[in-house]
């Protein structure tokens, strides 16, 4: 009798009816994919290359037969199974029988056994059953024997999910066939209970968007199986629930190109229709359903199916597209979502000027290896059990780095997948030529204790501006005696990024500021460098230090994503702009402006302003002038005749009176007191609205005449000061959105 693993939401007859009604597109893709296997077979002798694709091929053919009863799918599937079970071991290049190849085949062939084993010739059914039992024993025994050091306890790594996921599916298919199958299944259940309990609640995954696309389904697959077969519901997980938004906000302006932190094969192979379908269905996420439809409309699924670098790939996922599609979820465009998102566990902030294809997009990263939760829990588990659970080899030594895009142009880039993890390949800082952590090998974090890491310290977003602040001194070796590496970044509107870096040590160093790009720079003045991209001209102006040295480097990035295919080498070239003080020093400040405009247009004028207590610049474009300043510690910022404030940072338009500031209790602009707070706040003030972020209840004063004031859509009492034209009012802790009307 057919064992309907993953299909228990409907009867078989109901599934067949859905294939002719609501699921016709998904059914057509399934049959096309299943039919594609008619024209070839896997090699008779186990190739060195990966055989993971066999598992998905067999699953597609099995479901196609189950839904149509067309013998051609069954017969082709049987031929594929004969080849697969004829291999003495599953996998050759890396941990034969004990890793990804074996897991994918346990998964796909286990499904075939459950779904159509009862209609296979008896000798073939028994041969398949016995091979599944043998490979399950090998996988299970290996997990037990190496729990302390390999994927058996590497809860944050995709090898753990895939191997236990494959074992779980085969175990469920063999429950009535082998006495130990229940024990295998129980162990898989317990593993995934741990995995989903230790992942961060914000939905972030440090392995990067491409490995998210590859590994994340192996959290959804076991959760689906356990709910139906074991009565164990793992879906009540903030990590699973919020993971779509993490992935969405790592999409660039066109949502296809990505912020490719971590080991990413390229900047596009990070999309999976089946994941979007499943998350939309589980959590009623209309934006996920919309994105799946949007990618269909723009041809992205077709492109990904042909060109995607993640294998087995998009097309072999057809059977899961069919099973996980839920037509009851109404698509919901993403435009209504916030344009800035923060994922504290990974130390990640992303922001965009709009949800349109021509937006400016910034992604900033400063966190701890393995994610903050995983880094601390991993060390705690290791100390308790004397294990080695942290396998953060897909992460890079890239704290305080960033990716910047404008429309289709990548302006500051990340290397993606690389053989050697090197800080010099990221847009951050080198100290005496040295980077972060134990850089230089495949795993830059092996053996490091929990004291290492950066921190996402602060952020603020308001109409027209996003600010973020990271501290990364803890990512460098202690013998450098680095006490501060504070990076502040501000995206102003859609055309300007300001970067202020403060570095301090008790010994003198050569500090090197790095910007990674796809194109080489042209020096256009003593401290200015211009990048010409297809649609964007980016002008980099180094305001501080002054004077400075500069250099250019061309870097070849190489990677071999799988040991199963040593001849597959990914290569690309990127360019580095290197800025450094003329002399070695204990402390220094870099202040750099990145001005973005359409190719061929006149760049903004960026000049340094005299400033007490910090560093200030004036930026003028198309007759509009803005000023920006960053304080030295707690020194008061004073730009004569323009600005006086105790803020940590400020951006202002003196002509309109608009300003944005952080760490402020008072701010004077054009000689007038504009704002006061009892304790420091971040504030954004325009002519009609005001956004304030406060850590506690606070009293605020603003330059304004008598008004009717609303805070977060609720009226609040206002006191007036007729002498200075100030209004004073209370605000709660957190973010306050203020609107007003004249009395």
**DSSP H or E segment with residue 37:** none
**Least confident stretch, 8-22, 81-95, 233-247, 711-725:** 711-725
> How far apart are the C-alpha atoms of 427 and 400, rounded to whole Å?
8
Between the alpha carbon of residue 741 and those of residues 191, 656, 715, 718, the distances in Å are 58, 18, 11, 12
Helix (H, G, I), strand (E, B), or coil: what is residue 531?
strand
Between the alpha carbon of residue 735 and those of residues 9, 225, 679, the distances in Å are 43, 42, 14
What pLDDT shows up at residue 1?
Answer: 66
Between the alpha carbon of residue 614 and those of residues 544, 555, 664, the distances in Å are 11, 35, 15
Structural contact between residues 455 and 475, judged by C-beta atoms closer than 8 angstroms: no
Mean pLDDT of 25-48: 97
Mean pLDDT of 376-404: 96
Percent of the chain, pLDDT > 90?
95
Encode pLDDT of 341-374 as tens digits: 999 999 999 999 999 999 999 999 999 999 999 9
Split at pLDDT 50, 70, 90, the class of 721 is: confident
Is the pTM above the cut of 0.85? yes
Instruction: State the CB neighbour count (10 A cutoff) for residue 438.
Output: 16
What pLDDT shows up at residue 742?
Answer: 67
Give the residue with greater pLDDT, 407 vs 633.
Answer: 407
Evaluate whether the domain defined by 12-336 bears CATH number 3.30.470.20.
Answer: no
Structural contact between residues 53 and 311, judged by C-beta atoms closer than 8 angstroms: yes
- Token pair 């699921």 is found at 23
**Residue 513 token pair:** 């500021």
What pLDDT shows up at residue 634?
Answer: 79
Encode pLDDT of 251-310 as tens digits: 999 999 999 999 999 999 999 999 999 999 999 999 999 999 999 999 999 999 999 999
What pLDDT shows up at residue 284?
Answer: 98
Kindly tell me the burial class for residue 636, based on how many C-beta atoms sit within 10 Å of its own C-beta (0-12, 13-18, 19 or more): middle
Encode pLDDT of 237-263 as tens digits: 999 999 999 999 999 999 999 999 999
Whether the per-residue pLDDT at 551 is higher than 80: the answer is yes
- Token pair 């200030």 is found at 616
Encode pLDDT of 422-453 as tens digits: 999 999 999 999 999 999 999 999 999 999 99
**CATH code for the domain defined by 637-742:** 2.60.220
Same fold, 12-336 and 353-602: no
Split at pLDDT 50, 70, 90, the class of 705 is: confident
Whether the per-residue pLDDT at 385 is higher than 80: the answer is yes
- Token pair 């192979």 is found at 269
Structural contact between residues 38 and 76, judged by C-beta atoms closer than 8 angstroms: yes
**Residue 652 token pair:** 């202002």
Mean pLDDT of 679-683: 98
Split at pLDDT 50, 70, 90, the class of 223 is: very high
**DSSP H or E segment with residue 289:** helix 286-297
Between the alpha carbon of residue 707 and those of residues 337, 727, 739, the distances in Å are 31, 8, 10
Instruction: State the CB neighbour count (10 A cutoff) for residue 669.
Output: 24
**DSSP H or E segment with residue 67:** helix 52-68
Split at pLDDT 50, 70, 90, the class of 565 is: confident
Task: Specify the CATH class of 353-602 in words.
Answer: mainly beta
Q: Where are the domains of the chain?
A: 12-336, 353-602, 637-742
Encode pLDDT of 129-181 as tens digits: 999 999 999 999 999 999 999 999 999 999 999 999 999 999 999 999 999 99
> How far apart are the C-alpha atoms of 621 and 605, rounded to whole Å?
7
Between the alpha carbon of residue 375 and those of residues 255, 421, 444, 717, the distances in Å are 30, 18, 14, 46
Percent of the chain, pLDDT > 70?
99
């Amino acid at each position: 009798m057919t064992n309907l693993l993953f299909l228990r939401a409907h009867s078989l007859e109901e599934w067949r009816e859905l294939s002719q009604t609501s699921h016709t597109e998904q059914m057509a893709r399934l049959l096309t994919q299943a039919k594609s296997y008619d024209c070839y077979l896997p090699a008779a002798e186990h190739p060195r290359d990966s055989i993971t694709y066999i598992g998905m091929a067999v699953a597609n053919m099995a479901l196609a037969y189950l839904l149509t009863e067309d013998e051609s799918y069954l017969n082709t599937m049987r031929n594929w199974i004969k080849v697969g079970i004829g291999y003495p071991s599953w996998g050759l290049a890396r941990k034969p029988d004990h890793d990804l190849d074996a897991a994918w085949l346990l998964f796909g062939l286990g499904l075939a056994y459950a779904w159509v084993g009862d209609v296979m010739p008896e000798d073939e059914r028994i041969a398949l059953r016995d091979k599944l039992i043998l490979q399950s024993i090998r996988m299970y025994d290996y997990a037990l024997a190496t729990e302390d050091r390999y994927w058996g306890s590497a809860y944050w790594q995709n090898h753990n999910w895939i191997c236990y996921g494959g074992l779980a599916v085969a175990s469920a298919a063999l429950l009535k066939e082998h006495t130990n199958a229940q024990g295998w299944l129980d162990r898989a259940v317990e593993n995934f209970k741990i995995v989903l309990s230790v992942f961060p609640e914000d939905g972030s995954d440090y392995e990067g968007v491409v490995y998210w696309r590859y590994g994340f389904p192996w959290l959804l697959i076991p959760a689906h199986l356990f709910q139906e077969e074991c009565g164990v519901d793992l879906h009540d997980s903030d990590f699973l629930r919020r993971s779509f938004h993490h992935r969405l906000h790592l999409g660039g302006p066109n949502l296809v190109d990505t912020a490719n932190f971590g080991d990413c094969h390229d900047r596009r192979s990070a999309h999976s229709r089946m994941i979007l379908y499943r998350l939309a269905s589980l959590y009623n996420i209309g934006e996920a359903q919309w994105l799946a439809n949007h990618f269909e409309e723009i041809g992205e699924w077709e492109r990904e199916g042909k060109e995607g670098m993640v294998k087995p790939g998009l097309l072999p996922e057809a059977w899961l597209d069919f099973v996980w599609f839920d037509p009851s979820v109404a698509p919901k465009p993403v435009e209504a979502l916030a344009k800035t998102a923060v994922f504290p566990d990974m130390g990640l902030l992303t922001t965009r000027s709009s949800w349109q294809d021509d937006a400016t997009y910034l992604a900033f990263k400063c966190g701890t290896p393995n994610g903050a939760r995983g880094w601390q829990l991993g060390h705690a588990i290791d100390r308790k059990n004397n294990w080695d659970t942290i396998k953060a080899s897909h992460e890079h030594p890239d704290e305080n780095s960033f990716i910047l895009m404008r429309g289709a142009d990548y302006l500051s880039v990340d290397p993606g997948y690389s053989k050697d993890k090197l800080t010099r390949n990221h847009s951050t800082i080198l100290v005496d030529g040295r980077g972060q952590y134990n850089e230089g090998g495949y795993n830059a974090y092996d053996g490091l204790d929990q004291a290492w890491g950066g921190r996402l310290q602060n952020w603020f977003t308001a109409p027209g501006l996003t600010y973020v602040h990271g501290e990364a001194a803890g990512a460098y070796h202690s013998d450098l005696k680095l006490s501060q590496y504070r990076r502040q970044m501000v995206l102003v509107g859609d055309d300007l990024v300001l970067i202020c870096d403060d570095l301090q040590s008790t010994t003198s160093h050569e500090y090197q500021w790095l910007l990674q790009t796809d194109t080489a720079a042209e020096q256009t003045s003593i401290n200015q460098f211009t990048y010409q991209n297809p649609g964007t001209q980016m002008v980099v102006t180094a305001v501080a230090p002054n004077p400075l040295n500069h250099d250019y480097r061309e870097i070849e990035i190489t990677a071999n994503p799988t040991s199963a295919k040593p001849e597959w080498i990914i290569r690309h070239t990127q360019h580095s702009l290197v800025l450094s003080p003329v002399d070695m020093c204990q402390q220094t400040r870099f202040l750099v402006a990145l001005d973005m405009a359409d190719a061929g247009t006149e760049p903004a004028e960026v000049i340094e302003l005299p400033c007490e207590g910090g560093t200030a610049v004036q930026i003028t474009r198309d007759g509009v002038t803005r000023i920006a300043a960053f304080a030295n510690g707690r020194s008061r910022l004073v730009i004569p005749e323009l600005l006086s404030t105790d803020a940590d940072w400020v951006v202002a338009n003196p002509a309109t009176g608009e300003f944005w500031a952080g760490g402020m209790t008072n701010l004077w602009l054009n000689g007038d007191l504009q704002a006061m707070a009892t304790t420091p706040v971040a504030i954004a003030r325009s002519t009609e609205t005001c956004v304030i972020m406060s850590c506690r209840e606070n009293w605020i004063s603003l330059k304004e005449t008598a008004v009717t004031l609303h805070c977060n859509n609720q009226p609040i009492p206002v006191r007036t000061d007729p002498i200075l034209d100030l209004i004073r009012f209370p605000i709660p802790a957190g973010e306050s959105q203020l609107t007003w009307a004249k009395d």
